Amino acid sequence: MKPRVRTAVLVSGGGTNLQAIIDKSAEGAIPSAEIVVVISDREGVYALERADKAGIPSEVVPFKETGRGEFERRLAAALESRGVEMIVLAGFMRILSADFTAHYPNRILNIHPSLIPSFCGEGFYGLKVHKAALDYGVKVTGATVHFVNEIPDGGRIIMQKAVYIDDNDTPETLQKRVMREAEWVIYPEAIEKAASEIRRSK
Ligand code: GRF
């Protein structure tokens, strides 16, 4: 049997998607990938505690103090030293450069809380995405897992799941429902799908 795909999860915040991935992995639902490290671009975020509790090594590679060039050099070194083959962005709030993403073609995954190509691209993050969907008046939104390339939210789509909007929804209630009904469901599935393809090609 070929070895599992060595995977890094990059985070910046609470890490509920990371938790969903950890839980599904513990259930045996992501047999093709092994999370070898969790990397945060800032100290003190709860996602790091989640990694600790799950016994997964973690690292902080600071962004703010150094800027993107130095950040990406240190990130690349951390990934290389651990033999990382696939990168999962889970609430990671930085945009990676074209140079960086070119090193990992079809090897970086992201989840976006809308049905791409709606409400996505630069500036669409967090509650802004859900506010834009409500302001537009769409009746269906959802989440999209896609590969990351040089265009923000522009890489090939791996999986999507729709979520119906209620008349009473606020950006906050919609954000929670999209996470529960779509993000936490499809991210582990999409990771397994991408990892199994990488594993087959090894
Ligand atoms: C999620 O809404 C995800 O779609 C977006 O950032 C949020 C991360 O939340 N990319 P968490 O840190 O996984 O809880």
Q: What is the pLDDT of residue 57?
A: 98
Q: Is the CB of 12 under 6 A from ligand 1?
A: no
Question: Quick one: average pLDDT of 131-154?
Answer: 97
pLDDT at 173 over 90: yes
Question: Quick one: average pLDDT of 164-184?
Answer: 98
Q: What is the pLDDT of residue 1?
A: 81
For the entire predicted model, the pTM comes to 0.97
CATH number for the domain spanning 178: value is: 3.40.50.170
Question: Quick one: average pLDDT of 56-77?
Answer: 96
Question: Quick one: average pLDDT of 175-185?
Answer: 98
| Atom nearest to 183 CA in ligand 1 | 4
Peptide bond into 117 cis (omega under 30): yes
pLDDT at 179 over 90: yes
Q: pLDDT per residue over 89-138, tens digit each? A: 999 999 999 999 999 999 999 999 999 999 999 999 999 999 999 999 99
- Residue pair 14/176 in contact (Cβ under 8 Å)? The answer is no
Q: What is the pLDDT of residue 202?
A: 86
Q: Is the CB of 14 under 6 A from ligand 1?
A: yes
The mean pLDDT value of the chain amounts to: 97
CA–CA separation, 28 and 107 (whole Å): 21
Q: What is the pLDDT of residue 157?
A: 98
Active site positions, annotated: 112
Q: Is the CB of 111 under 6 A from ligand 1?
A: yes
Q: Is the CB of 142 under 6 A from ligand 1?
A: no
Q: What phi and psi, each to the nearest 5 degrees, are found at residue 47?
A: -55, -35
Number of domains in the chain: 1
CA angle centred on 146, ends 60 and 202, rounded to 5°: 80
| Atom nearest to 47 CA in ligand 1 | 12
Q: pLDDT per residue over 34-61, tens digit each? A: 999 999 999 999 999 999 999 999 999 9
Identity of residue 167: D
Q: What is the extent of the structural domain holding 78?
A: 5-201
